[in-house]
Amino acid sequence: MAQHGKSVVVYEAQANIGGGARSAELTLPGFIHDLCSSVYPLAIGSPFFRSLPLSQHGLEWIQPAAAVAHPFDDGTVVTLERSVEATAAQLGPDEQSYRKLMVPLVAGWNGLDVDLLGPVRAPRHPWNLARFGLLGIQPARRLAEGRFQAERAKGFFAGIAAHSMLPLENWGSAAFGLVLAIAGHAVGWPIARGGAQKLTNALAAHLRSLGGEIIPNRPVRSLGELPASRVVLCDLTPRQVLEIAGEHFSPHYRESLRQYRYGMGAFKMDWALSGPVPWTAVECKRAATIHLGGTLEEIAFSERSAWRGEHVERPFVLLAQPSLFDPERASATKHTLWGYCHVPHGSTSNMAVKIENQIERFAPGFKDLVIGRSLMPPNELEKHNANLIGGDINGGAADLRQLFLRPTLKMYGTSVKGLYICSASTPPGGGVHGMCGYFAARKALKEMF
């Protein structure tokens, strides 16, 4: 909006701006942790972010040697490399299948990114999108079992697909595994030097350079609190939109928002460590992101259980070890570690021991290195950011019904003229990529100016 010369004011409830992209000393002084997101395949791959001068405002991407490391109990590992060949070469009998699956998708990524990271519309690259769609619409389990013979490839793909926060038996869950694997090959899974906050600070500096204003510590409780303006864009999920604007909506639209469904939650942890994580598989040190769960069966069970409201003994754990690649996160020999597992929506169970047991399983001696830890169950996450309803980090379940058309058939629009939704509850959904806001702003510019 600001790039189009409109005057923009951002009201932020919290003292520090950034929502899902913020950093803070959560454990001990001198240890910089990312409160929510930490790893950015979708940000570096975002057509909108690519168009912004973020590096001029201090954003520097760090690309670890490998995007993801997926260790197994036998001490081996599969890594997601920039090269499809180098990744496939680790998959034994599934080398050819992986190559056959990925080569055309990665070749088509340039352009496909615009189609995938946006709402349903006439695709710019229909053939590429059709090829992707036929694969992505499948359950991740079915794709993995149909394409791969050995456990290494199946477990590796399951770990990436589990970012969907859906049971891997659900239709559409393969799309997440494919998008993130393609992104790993096409653009990498980078981290931001100095922490997630640097991405937010660069976006804020760009906005300010265009005359925009940001007012922190200003929770908006009703539309009436806002100054008169032609457009209001809500970076909120449907429940909050109903709270601040519900009385203005048509009964039908209000009911549609009420029916929006939230997904499972996250139990987030951060650690201050006296040394690097002592991985059994040393190749794990080449990646910022580590997926802990081993086999497809174990990961699928963990995700299915969380979806059904159950807690498992061995949760699938997503870790990031940014300080291995970024000296600004901790002093000299010390390290930071970031991680979470999926839990039932609104869960109040303490998963800390189970998460740490999973790390210890693949890195014996890890627990002895812990000098500080921070725990954020779903309710704590929600306290830090009201958008994380029940700990749902994606702004609502991304099952088939809500994958393309979210939060309602109107997507960014509402039943009130000039009022829009621009959060992860709109297409293309969760993740730090700015594309929800981009498409919401485009719609607002077209309709209101």
Ligand X SMILES: Cc1cc2nc3c(=O)[nH]c(=O)nc-3n(C[C@H](O)[C@H](O)[C@H](O)COP(=O)(O)OP(=O)(O)OC[C@H]3O[C@@H](n4cnc5c(N)ncnc54)[C@H](O)[C@@H]3O)c2cc1C
Location of structure tokens 């019904």: 401
What element of type H or E holds 380?
helix 378-384
Q: Which is nearer to ligand X, 37 or 138 (CB)?
A: 37
Tell me whether the omega of the peptide bond preceding residue 53 falls within 30 degrees of 0, making it cis: no
Q: Which is nearer to ligand X, 93 or 224 (CB)?
A: 224
Q: Which is nearer to ligand X, 14 or 295 (CB)?
A: 14
Distance (Å, whole) CA 349 – CA 305: 14
Total binding residues for ligand X by CB under 6 A?
33
Find residue 319's DSSP bridge partners: 290, 339
Q: Which is nearer to ligand X, 90 or 387 (CB)?
A: 387
Distance (Å, whole) CA 186 – CA 170: 26
Which residue, among 86, 92, 69, has the nearest Cα to 283 in the 3D structure?
69
What is the DSSP code (8-state) at residue 340? E
Tell which one of 385, 418, 442, 447 touches ligand X (CB under 6 A): 385
Distance (Å, whole) CA 346 – CA 306: 11
Q: Which is nearer to ligand X, 40 or 132 (CB)?
A: 40
Contact between 447 and 62 under an 8 Å Cβ cutoff? The reply is no
Taking CB under 6 A as the criterion, which residues in 264-293 touch ligand X? Answer: 266, 268
* Distance in Å, CB of 297 to ligand X, minimum: 25
Q: Which is nearer to ligand X, 22 or 334 (CB)?
A: 22
* Distance in Å, CB of 23 to ligand X, minimum: 12
Work out the angle between the directed axes of helices 109-116 and 95-107 (0-180°, nearest 10).
70
Binding flag, residue 340, ligand X (CB under 6 A): yes
* Distance in Å, CB of 20 to ligand X, minimum: 2
The residue count for the chain: 449
Location of structure tokens 């570690």: 337
* Distance in Å, CB of 209 to ligand X, minimum: 21
Q: Which is nearer to ligand X, 180 or 281 (CB)?
A: 180
Binding flag, residue 395, ligand X (CB under 6 A): yes
Q: Which is nearer to ligand X, 279 or 438 (CB)?
A: 438
**Closest residue by beta carbon to ligand X:** 20
Binding flag, residue 379, ligand X (CB under 6 A): no
List the x/- string, 25-64, binding to ligand X by CB under 6 A: -----------xxxxx-x----------------------
Taking CB under 6 A as the criterion, which residues in 199-258 touch ligand X? Answer: 219-220, 235-236, 240
Rounding to the nearest 10 degrees, give the CA dihedral for residues 368, 374, 377, 380. Answer: 170
Binding flag, residue 72, ligand X (CB under 6 A): no
Residue 417 CA, chain-centre distance (Å), reads: 31
Rounding to the nearest 10 degrees, give the CA dihedral for residues 352, 355, 358, 363. Answer: -80
In the complex, the residues that contact ligand X under the rule CB under 6 A are 11-14, 19-20, 36-40, 42, 219-220, 235-236, 240, 266, 268, 340, 381, 385-388, 393-395, 423-424, 430-432
